[in-house]
């Protein structure tokens, strides 16, 4: 039920943003599905690793003074979050260019990559924090993080991802960095 309501909220927010922000860079909407997909994949993998490590005792149910396993998992999630959006921005531009070559320029390519990278980093970092918090809290309360964290994570990940995309696009537009 909460997941469905969250999905409706994300769709509503995206609908508002399409009218205002995505009209500036035609084809920018192409970024949304792949960015949401990697957000879910990276967040899901990080959540699963963290849950398993909590059960095995290789990660402590705390944020500070944690194990090297915790730090490596967090770093891996952040590195993937930093690398993949660059590719997604370039590929999304190519798809958009295929449908509207007369509108999209080389500056638009840089805009796509910059928007994908910055929104990916922002949403990835925020989602990693949410994942850590939810995993530790549910584990401490005797609940299974594998069962409880994933459904919450996918909805919050979509919401964080769309808000980050809209925020970064608006920020870059106001700074005059988008064509």
| Number of domains into which the chain is organized | 1
Q: Per residue of the chain (179 residues), what is the pLDDT tens digit?
A: 555 665 666 666 666 666 666 666 777 888 888 988 898 889 999 999 999 999 999 999 998 899 999 999 999 999 999 999 999 999 999 998 888 787 778 888 898 999 999 999 999 999 999 999 999 999 999 998 888 888 888 888 888 988 898 899 889 988 887 76
Exposure string (b/e) for 9-40, b if CB count within 10 Å is 16 or more?
A: ebeebbeebeeebbeebbbbbbbbebbbebbb
- The reported pLDDT for the residue numbered 5 is 64
Exposure string (b/e) for 153-171, b if CB count within 10 Å is 16 or more?
A: bbbbbbbbbbbbbbbbbee
Using DSSP, state whether 121 is helix, strand or coil: helix
**Across the chain, how many H-helices and E-strands are there?**
5, 0
Residue 11 lies in a domain: yes
Q: Which helix (H) or strand (E) holds 52?
A: helix 32-56
- The reported pLDDT for the residue numbered 21 is 67
Angle, CA of 167, 169 and 175, to the nearest 5°: 100
Residue 20 lies in a domain: no
Quote the domain boundaries for residue 77: 2-15+28-174
- CATH code, domain carrying 116: 1.10.357.20
Non-local CB neighbours of 51 within 8 Å, separated by 6+ positions: 135, 139, 144, 145, 146, 149
- The reported pLDDT for the residue numbered 168 is 92
**pTM, whole model, 2 decimals?**
0.85
- The reported pLDDT for the residue numbered 117 is 96
Supply the angle between the helices 32-56 and 106-140 in degrees, to the nearest 10. 30
- The reported pLDDT for the residue numbered 141 is 93
């Amino acid at each position: 039920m909460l997941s469905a309501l969250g999905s409706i909220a994300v769709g509503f927010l995206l609908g508002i943003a399409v009218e205002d922000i995505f009209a500036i860079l035609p084809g920018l909407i192409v970024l949304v599905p792949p960015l949401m997909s990697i957000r879910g994949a990276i967040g899901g993998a990080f959540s699963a690793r963290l849950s398993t490590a909590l059960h095995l005792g290789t990660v402590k149910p705390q944020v500070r003074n944690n194990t090297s396993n915790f730090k490596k998992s967090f770093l891996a999630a952040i590195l993937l979050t930093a690398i993949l959006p660059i590719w997604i921005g370039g590929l999304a531009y190519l798809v958009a260019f295929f449908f509207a070559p007369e509108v999209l320029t080389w500056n638009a390519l840089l805009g796509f990559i910059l928007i994908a990278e910055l929104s990916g980093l922002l949403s990835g970092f925020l989602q990693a924090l949410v994942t850590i918090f939810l995993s530790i809290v549910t584990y401490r309360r005797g609940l299974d993080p594998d069962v409880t964290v994933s459904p919450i994570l996918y909805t919050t990940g979509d919401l964080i991802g769309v808000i980050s995309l809209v925020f970064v696009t608006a920020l870059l537009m106001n700074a005059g960095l988008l064509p």
